[in-house]
């Protein structure tokens, strides 16, 4: 019927398109069937070049190994490189250990039968860890840590081992194990990576995994520091520490001012009486009557000897109130002319002034020292 109404050349075009469509459909079906067949018999990439099993990480019960394969998947593999679940059990038991838990991180069940493990009374857990987008799955890390903690709590009275594997037992397995060492055991990222590499005898090969581990370690340290600071401020330790620091700083400033004042007193004493600079730590501004007293060196030497004698025999009273009430700042630093007083009276007055200065310095009250200094400036 259609042939009666359509030209022959149009019919030929329809026939060509129909033929092309059926060819494309046939090719697609063949490729899909071939892919399904190969996927059922394909082994992980570079699976043969990795060692079957690593040693136990020091300080833990964890070890990593590559995924065992079914016997039918190893037809084209050399017998010396084949690795099955039976080989896994034999290698572990050869070291005098036993497996208590196996965690599968390979995101597939086609490499071996889980019944081979559970049939040996070994716990079996699966974590669907995809090859792509694995790092953003923080829930997988939490689940991994929780699985290990639960197992250790139930088996604290034995030394059963925990086996972790992905396809090759290197990248995803290494990342999860290192996360456990960093987040749970408090290891640094460098220590965790070195420990895994030494145990597995192969480093983690994906740079993004290594960078993520370093970031995890950095975040853990920052969180730990923040928690410590919060605890310090919550129990009042920070306030006590700050108060102590302020008190220490104030005391240091006061002592510095005291030493500066003492140095000034020493400089004045050495300029007034060179022989008495070791006795008087007090600095007094220059006195107008000084020129009349230093004219005779003999009288200065007599004063020096008298003061040295008084230094050894004189005892100072530690009563602050009585000494503070007897201080006369107006008379400190004054030197009377020789004609007005006798030599003995002059020596006695100078000795009294020195004693007053020392009493003020001994008590260490800066307000008294400042008043004494102001009084001597006004002389």
Q: Which residues pair with 163 in a beta bridge?
A: 63, 102
209 with 135: CB under 8 angstroms? yes
Q: Distance (Å, rounded) from C-alpha 94 to C-alpha 53?
A: 12
Sequence-distant (6+) residues with CB within 8 A of 273 are 280, 300, 303, 304
Give the torsion sign (CA, 130, 135, 141, 143).
negative
For residue 187, what is the DSSP state?
-
Q: Which residues pair with 219 in a beta bridge?
A: none
User: Could you write out the three-class secondary structure of 143-159?
Assistant: HHHHHHHHHHHHCCCCC
Using alpha carbons only, what angle is made at residue 211 by residues 207 and 215, rounded to the nearest 5 degrees?
Answer: 170
Tokens for 261?
Answer: 């004042």
**Would residue 183 show up in a list of annotated catalytic residues for this protein?**
no
Q: How many CB atoms lie within 10 A of CB 167?
A: 23
**The one catalytic residue among 105, 129, 166, 178:** 166
Nearest to 77 by CA among 117, 44, 118: 44
Helix 343-363 × helix 297-313 angle, to 10° = 50
Q: Distance (Å, rounded) from C-alpha 336 to C-alpha 16?
A: 137
Please tell me the total number of residues recorded for the chain in this structure. 379
Q: Which residues pair with 53 in a beta bridge?
A: 65
142 with 155: CB under 8 angstroms? no
Q: Mind telling me the catalytic residues?
A: 166
């Amino acid at each position: 019927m259609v042939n009666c109404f359509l030209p022959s050349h149009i019919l030929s075009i329809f026939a060509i398109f129909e033929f092309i469509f059926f060819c494309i459909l046939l090719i697609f079906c063949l490729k899909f069937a071939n892919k399904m067949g190969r996927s059922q018999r394909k082994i992980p990439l570079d699976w043969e070049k990795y060692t079957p099993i690593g040693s136990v990480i020091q300080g833990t019960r964890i070890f990593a190994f590559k995924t065992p394969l079914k016997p039918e998947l190893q037809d084209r593999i050399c017998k010396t490189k084949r690795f099955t679940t039976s080989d896994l059990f034999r290698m572990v038991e050869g070291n005098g250990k036993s497996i208590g838990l196996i965690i599968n991180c390979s995101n597939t069940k086609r490499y071996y039968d889980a019944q081979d493990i559970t049939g040996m009374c070994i716990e079996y857990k699966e974590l669907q860890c995809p090859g792509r987008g694995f790092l953003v799955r923080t829930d997988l890390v939490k689940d991994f840590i929780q699985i290990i903690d639960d197992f250790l709590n139930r088996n604290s009275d034995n030394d059963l081992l925990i086996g972790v594997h992905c396809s090759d037992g290197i990248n995803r397995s290494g990342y999860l194990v290192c996360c456990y060492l960093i987040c749970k055991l408090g290891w640094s990222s460098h220590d965790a990576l070195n420990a895994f590499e030494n145990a597995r005898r192969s480093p983690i090969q994906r740079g993004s995994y290594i960078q993520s581990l370093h970031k995890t370690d950095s975040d853990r340290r920052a969180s730990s520091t923040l928690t410590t600071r919060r605890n310090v401020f919550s129990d009042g330790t920070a306030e006590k520490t700050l108060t102590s620091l302020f008190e220490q700083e104030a005391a240091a400033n006061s002592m510095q001012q005291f030493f500066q004042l003492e140095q000034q007193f020493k400089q004045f004493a050495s300029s007034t009486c060179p022989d008495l600079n070791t006795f008087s730590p007090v600095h007094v501004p220059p006195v107008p009557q000084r020129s009349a007293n230093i004219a005779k060196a003999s009288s200065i030497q007599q004063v020096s000897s008298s003061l040295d004698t008084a230094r050894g025999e004189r005892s100072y009273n530690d009563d602050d109130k009585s000494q503070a009430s007897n201080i006369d700042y107006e008379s400190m630093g004054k030197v009377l002319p020789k004609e007005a007083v006798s030599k003995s009276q002059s020596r006695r007055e100078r000795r009294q002034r020195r004693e007053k200065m020392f009493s003020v310095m001994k008590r260490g009250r800066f307000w008294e020292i400042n008043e004494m200094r102001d009084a001597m400036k006004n002389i």
